Structure 1
């Protein structure tokens, strides 16, 4: 077990967060138990987060930041802490998402991570791995903050119709997930197109991929499989994937027709009369 005084703020973003939490708490003259009582958490949890044995949540961070008068310091640290929980091979992708001005993605099996609800993300990680499910779920949901920041990227996502029918987490989870996709459409946070079953053969059979466009940097492409991912700035590869994406967009339903299909599947497959998972 890590001793409180041995905490090295340079060891990881999580250690640094714990160090800063402890520093602000001690400056405020509060014990862990007193701070916990103020923010409606246990003193034990405060101690676990201070010693980097527990991952902070967004709610915890917002409460302690306000209680300690940290002026957003802990809130600004949280995305870095959560990103560090991502698999090493995936962190590069998260960095590309953060800096891109345009994101074009194809996802044949799952709802794209930027559009997943917390419950759906938890179901995905529960299937893929039994370890650190809550931490991975928090990290995935935290990525979505880029959609609501002052200057969000333009996001276009094509997903196979199979994604709507693949039941993950049960009926309630899927109903909530499809309702969330419709909310994203209404709020213009992302442009979602569904590639229908009737499209037949298509340019996405090789798997999920993303094309990123930046203000000053060259375009990049990212491909992934079950366990790893690969990014490239090789322009012939990027152009090939860009062309493939254009074909997928052309074969997919329009944004409005896609929303109608999502709503129909939500009602027919996951409606109240189908409440048994």
Structure 2
């Protein structure tokens, strides 16, 4: 039998969360006396994928990590570590906001052009991130989806989201992606701690014309207002800035449709603009 020598890349576990994950995965696998192929068989993937994760060529998913913990008996180590790994896939300037977002007791978001990240479907997020993002798109999408885990906590943050009507009409990813995304908004709105309002075109000039922004409120920390430009995000706990943001948000809520009318508009746009194409007219006779 021919033996193929494989170069094993040495990792510095202090270099990044991903390097630490790969280092620990290799260490735990070897301690269990398993080859990459054997571990892959147990967690339902290829040995090649195990090797790619161990050498930081692939970013692990949460599902992968949970299976590895079960296979190696590592008591949730990789399930906990993967959160740091995925968060590190977010842009460096966005990571501080994501950390604060995860701790917030109340989140108020106004989005002028796209669906708020915590409410995006994987397909919608992929279409957005694929426009300009370099690197591992799967990892970027996984990181954005992982942010949404705060919505499934026993005590999720109270959320109020105002979307410009333009968000519903801006076709991101195609008709099928938008149809799924708008359906997701309607499903999410059924949660008692989340309200979604749509600011209609008919509202005219409004206090959100300067752009999207988010307000984060905390139980024990200063409140924060967050904005973005085309380069990076800006977060401040300045009380005057937060007061101005709160006033602008109050006006947006007042100008927006009610929660019930917003749901009706979302459903209407989904049906009229993104309905599944009808099949051929089978009643026609040649």
TM-score, normalised via structure 1 length: 0.94
* Corresponding position of 2:192: 188
SS for the counterpart of 1:164 is: helix
Equivalent-residue separation in structure 2 for 1:183 and 1:203 (angstroms): 28
3-state SS of the aligned residue for 2:214? strand
**Cα offsets for 1:165-209 (capped at 9, x unmatched):** 111111111111111111111133632111111111110011111
- 2:18 alignment partner, SS class: helix
**Aligned residue pairs, count:** 273
Does the Cα contact within 8 Å between 1:147 and 1:189 map onto a contact in 2? no
Alignment-derived partner of residue 9 in structure 1: 13
Aligned to 1:137: 141
SS in structure 1 at match of 2:90: coil
**1:248 aligns to 2:252 (yes or no):** yes
**Counterpart for residue 162 of structure 1:** 166
> Computing the radius of gyration over CA atoms, which structure comes out larger, 1 or 2?
2
Does the residue aligned with 1:29 lie in a helix, a strand or coil? coil
Cα offset, 1:63, TM superposition? 1.9
Tell me, yes or no, if structure 1 residue 92 matches structure 2 residue 96. Answer: yes
Distance 1:189 1:34, change over 3 A: farther
- Residues 157 and 193, structure 2, Cα contact 8 Å, conserved in 1: no
Take 2:70 and 2:109, find their aligned partners in 1: how far apart are those partners? 37
Q: Summarize deviations over 1:120-161 as a string: whole Å, max 9, x none.
A: 000001123354322211111110000001221111111101
Cα deviation for residue 218 of structure 1 reads: 1.3
- Which residue does the alignment assign to 2:283? none
TM-score by length of structure 2 reads 0.91
SS in 1 for 2:108: strand
Moved more, 185-194 or 108-117: 185-194
Unaligned runs of 5+ in 2: 1-6, 280-286
Cα–Cα, structure 1 residues 29 and 189, in superposed 2: closer, same or farther, change >3 Å? farther
Deviation at 1:273, TM superposition (A): 2.8
Aligned partner of residue 210 in structure 2, secondary structure:
coil
Please name the residue that 2:203 is paired with: 199
In the alignment, the residues of structure 1 paired with residue 157 and residue 271 of structure 2 have an alpha-carbon distance, to the nearest angstrom, of 31
Structure 1 residue 274, shift from structure 2 partner:
6.7
**Residues 1-277 of structure 1 mapped to structure 2, 5 A cutoff:** 4=8, 6-188=10-192, 190-273=194-277
User: Against the structure 1 CA distance between its residues 36 and 240, is the aligned structure 2 distance closer, same or farther, given a 3 Å change threshold?
Assistant: same
Answer whether contact 1:4 1:50 (CA < 8 A) is retained.
no
Choose between structure 1 and 2: higher helix proportion: 1
Alpha carbons 2:110, 2:162 under 8 Å: kept: yes
Q: CA deviation at 1:60?
A: 1.6
Q: What SS does structure 2 have at the residue aligned with 1:210?
A: strand
Any gaps of 5 or more consecutive residues in structure 1? none
SS of 1:186 mapped into structure 2: coil
